[in-house]
Amino acid sequence: MNNTEIKKAVAEAALACGAEGYELNIEAGVSAGAEALKDEISSVTYNRTGAMSVRCVKNGKSGYASSELVTPEAAAELVYRACENASVVDDPDEVPLFEGSKEYTIIEEEAVVLPSAEELIKHTLDLQKKAYALSDKVIDGTQSFTSCASEEHTFINSAGIDLSYESAIVYHGVVAAVKDGDEGEEDYEVSLINKKTSDELAKEAVETALSKLGAQSVDSGKYNIIMDKGTMRSVLGVYSSVFSARSAFLKTTLLAGKEGEKVASDILTITDDPFHPAKFGHCPFDAEGVAVYKKNVIENGVLKTLLYNRMYAKIFGKETTGNASSAKNISPKGLYIEAGDLTSDELLAKLDNGIYITELKGLHAGANTQSGDFSLEAAGFLVENGKKTKPVKNFTIADNFFEIIKKVAALSNEVEFATGGNIGSPEVMFTDISVSGK
């Protein structure tokens, strides 16, 4: 979108308010999609989303304001509100406006052409038809979808920064529902449309759903386990806040004060890489206009750095790591566990006997990010003599995030990011995990 009028409105309002400086963040996007249920389209959607945030410095103090409207009028109003908020701030501003990084890494993105509504509908119906054709056990409740989205990020300030970045994505997915007698199962698979064909995606979803039929629980005890890529991504995503300097300041992470100390297995390296080729989007700047870059958060078990924005970097006497999601908040830009050197089959062989976890339920309710404790219902497959055998479900795994990262015993050799996401992982093997089953 053209932000020229918005930038002009902000500059004029800041001048009228007597602001000494300002910065503006804009996030705007367009998304569209089609969903199919049974043999027809159940919904077609088109959405525009947006958000703006403004920081104004007045009388040496900073005020903030935000809105979901992205218009010149809304931008001017935000400036007035931010200046008013600055007038009631007691403490002087400790983080001056950023003057820009020396250089910004630019990744040449592959051009993505967003499909038309007709193309979305046609592709979705074709995907749905292929899912039903794969087995007579596929039942109504099976759903298919095709979606696309484009995003634009803009950051400007009165210190001379004017940055923007655009990205786009097209993806499709299947929720395959299957039934055999009275037993039903389902599986959800999603992929970039240029990474897996409709045939490949439908087959993967249906075959995985079918493989879950006949699942039973497992005996209680201590097990060595493997978490598949998607499960491990979910765990890492839920606990990603423990690497934030904001969490350290608030004393809500047990990693506070442990930079430079050994906190995990020798083979575990966790990296934050905004430019990893497998993740969606490679925006070269964060929400403060700072150039983002690759850094190891944990390296061979040692906590090398927390993630900082400018405010918390100043508080802790550090340099920002380019991880601002706002002037006050922090988020990873491409957090993932580095791959090991084992193929999936070799990892199973190393496990020998244990459980291969493919699903954890209730992560947001059953995982405590402050203490690290979790107790979660799980499903997957029994592994016997290095091979996946029987499907298993209705059992619970319980442990602690800060402890299991010390129990990493092996890693597969391929990292996978969630479609459209910024968290990635290979398959990860852990030792001595408590399992409560039958």
Q: Return phi, psi of residue 229, to 5°.
A: -60, -45
pLDDT tens across 353-372, in order? 999 999 999 998 889 999 99
Non-local (6+) Cβ contacts of 340 within 8 A are 267, 347, 410, 411, 412, 413, 426
Q: Look at residue 326 and tell me whether its pLDDT is greater than 90.
A: no
Q: How far apart are CA 362 and CA 372, in angstroms?
A: 15
Mean pLDDT across the stretch 221-246?
Answer: 98
How many CA atoms within 13 Å lie on the side-chain side of 241? 16
Per-residue pLDDT, averaged over 67-73, amounts to: 94
Query: Residue 312's CB: how many other CB atoms inside 10 A?
Result: 25
pLDDT at 1 (0 to 100): 56
Nearest C-alpha neighbor of 81 from the set 102, 98, 66, 101 = 66
CB proximity list for 301: less than 8 A, separation 6 or greater: 262, 263, 264, 265, 266, 267, 268, 406
Cross-strand partners of 170: 148
Mean pLDDT value across residues 301-324 = 96
**CA–centroid distance for 303 within its chain:** 21
Output the pTM of the full model.
Answer: 0.95
Give per-residue burial for 213-228: e unless 16+ CB within 10 Å, then b.
eebeebeeeebbbbbb
- Segment among 35-49, 90-104, 112-126, 251-265 with least mean pLDDT: 90-104
| Residue 125 scores a pLDDT above 80 | yes
Q: What is the CA radius of gyration of the chain?
A: 24
Q: What is the dihedral of CA 105, 106, 109, 111, to 10 degrees?
A: 160
Is the pLDDT assigned to residue 392 strictly greater than 80? yes
pLDDT at 92: 65
- Domains observed in the chain: 4-209 (3.30.2290.10), 215-438 (no CATH)
Dist CA 145 CA 31 (whole Å): 13
Interval 124-149 mean pLDDT: 97
pLDDT band at 35 (very low <50, low <70, confident <90, very high): very high
Structure confidence at residue 328 (pLDDT): 81
35 DSSP assignment: E
Distance CA 97, CA 4 (A): 21
Residue 172: phi and psi, rounded to 5, are -140, 160
pLDDT the model gives residue 3: 86
The structure tokens listed for 393 are 């479900």
Name the amino acid, one letter, at 315.
I
pLDDT value of residue 75: 96
Strand partners for 65: 54
Contacts for 149 with CB less than 8 Å, ≥ 6 apart: 29, 30, 31, 32, 168, 169, 420
The mean of the pLDDT values for the chain is 95
User: Interhelix angle for 72-87 vs 4-17, to 10°?
Assistant: 30
How confident is residue 435, by pLDDT bands cut at 50, 70 and 90?
very high
Q: Is 2 a residue whose pLDDT tops 90? A: no
pLDDT in tens, 399-416: 999 999 999 999 999 999
User: CA 155, CA 12: separation in Å to the nearest integer?
Assistant: 17
Torsion of CA 230, 235, 238, 241, to 10 degrees: -120
In contact, 205 and 131? CB cutoff 8 Å: yes
**267-298 pLDDT, tens digit each:** 999 999 999 999 999 999 999 999 999 999 99
Q: DSSP alpha helices (H): ranges in 93-216? A: 117-133, 198-211
> What torsion, rounded to 10 degrees, do the Cα atoms 397, 401, 402, 405 define?
80
**Is the pLDDT reported for residue 377 higher than 70?**
yes
Task: Give the rounded percent of residues in the chain with a pLDDT score beyond 90.
Answer: 93
